[in-house]
Structure 1
């Protein structure tokens, strides 16, 4: 069975390494050829849609019939922002997390369905501002708790000094870890998401909507959080720079992200197959 959908991680997979973090011409050309064949190219990221938009534009992926997996799988959306499937946090959990943050005087932000980064912190934390800039996401401070509580949130992030998060991470995991996905994404970022928010579950939801079988799916990635989408896809391609666990789970190991590994995988498994 031919491959009709490719799920591609962004950071250190589609993009070159820091500080450039760009799409190579070879990757763009290969994506265009795959799109011309009718293959769906689905960018997958822990970023919200706002943080993915520039790469969609560069790869010329657009329209209501093209899709993205964002917020680490909490949302499946069209390239135009229509929501297809969700694994969002419930309002009660968000309020409990806000109280936890306020009790311990920690800065936090919550990513809304429309990519807005929201908080009720009257004084914005430096890490919150830094993330909003990276994601190119609007940043909104709510004084009205009812307005804040009315929104739908993809993930909750404690954003503060690493030493503070080290101190409170065990308590947070004890309180929420059995019912939610709790992960230390960066030294300054401790995130809480729906227990089923991962790239694999999101990919399965999208494949079901498009009536695609597992054998028609290809996943390309480099990190541990890409393993669920490898499990959901019939074929997994690990980047040359991937961690060992990803390479072990892969059917094919391509070149690294600085040498257009995505393009090589697309040629090997689709374009020249």
Structure 2
């Protein structure tokens, strides 16, 4: 059965490696050809919408009948920002996590539905600043969590050196893993989301809304937070630079992100059939 929707991770999948993090001409051309054929190209990321708008524009994914899955599946929106599904955090858990981070001197931020990063961490860690720059998201520092106001929060991020996060992650998993989705999306980034928030559930919700069959969908990724998306899609494609667990779970392994692996997968399974 023909693929009608391709869900594509961004960092180290669609984009080349740091520091460039850019779309290759081959990836752009393949995506634009697929869009012209009526294929849904769904960028799926831990980033908020602000952090992927430039890539949507570069790839020509601009019409309101195209979609994005952002904040690791907490939100699904049209590319113009109309929300179609939410799995967000309430203030009780945000407050609880913020208190825990403050008590242990862990750097953190929480991202709202408008792509703003909020924190009471006045020290503002290096990785928090790095994320804000990558996401192109405003970073606001408050005196208290109560000053955050009435916002809808997509996800809570703990940002620390990888070796420290190695120690933090088991503690967070033990304390919150039964009730929330806890995932290490980068060596320096641990995310806590609503239990129902992941790329796979968001992809399933979207395909159901679009009345597409599972076998009509393809997912491309490189990291463990892409595994739920692999389970939801009919065809799973690992990047050549994917971590071992992703390669093992994939139906097919394409080239790496620095050699247009996404474009090559789109050609193989959509354009060249």
Give the structure-1-normalised TM-score.
0.92
User: 1:163 offset after TM fit, Å?
Assistant: 5.9
Moved more, 16-25 or 207-216: 16-25
> For residue 225 of structure 1, what is the aligned residue in structure 2?
225
CA deviation profile, 1:230-268 (whole Å, cap 9, x unmatched)? 111111222222233333332332222222121111111
Q: How does 1:49-198 map to 2 (within 5 A)?
A: 49-143=49-143, 145-161=145-161, 165=165, 168-198=168-198
Moved more, 186-195 or 73-82: 186-195
User: 1:114 offset after TM fit, Å?
Assistant: 0.9
User: 1:60 offset after TM fit, Å?
Assistant: 1.2
Q: How does 1:201-220 map to 2 (within 5 A)?
A: 201-220=201-220
User: 1:49 offset after TM fit, Å?
Assistant: 1.1
Residue correspondences, number: 273
SS of the aligned residue for 1:134 comes to helix
SS of the aligned residue for 2:52 comes to helix
SS of the aligned residue for 1:265 comes to helix
> For residue 7 of structure 1, what is the aligned residue in structure 2?
7
Distance 2:59 2:112 in 1: 25
Contact kept in structure 2, 1:156 and 1:192, CA below 8 Å: yes
Contact kept in structure 2, 1:95 and 1:149, CA below 8 Å: no
Give the structure-2-normalised TM-score.
0.92
> What is the RMSD computed on CA atoms of the aligned residues?
2.0
Cα gap change, 1:25 to 1:162, in 2 (>3 Å): closer
Contact kept in structure 1, 2:254 and 2:265, CA below 8 Å: yes
Distance 2:106 2:268 in 1: 48
Distance 2:5 2:90 in 1: 31
CA deviation profile, 1:199-238 (whole Å, cap 9, x unmatched)? 1111001111111111111111222222211111111222
CA deviation profile, 1:22-52 (whole Å, cap 9, x unmatched)? 1111111111110001001001111111111
Contact kept in structure 2, 1:91 and 1:149, CA below 8 Å: no
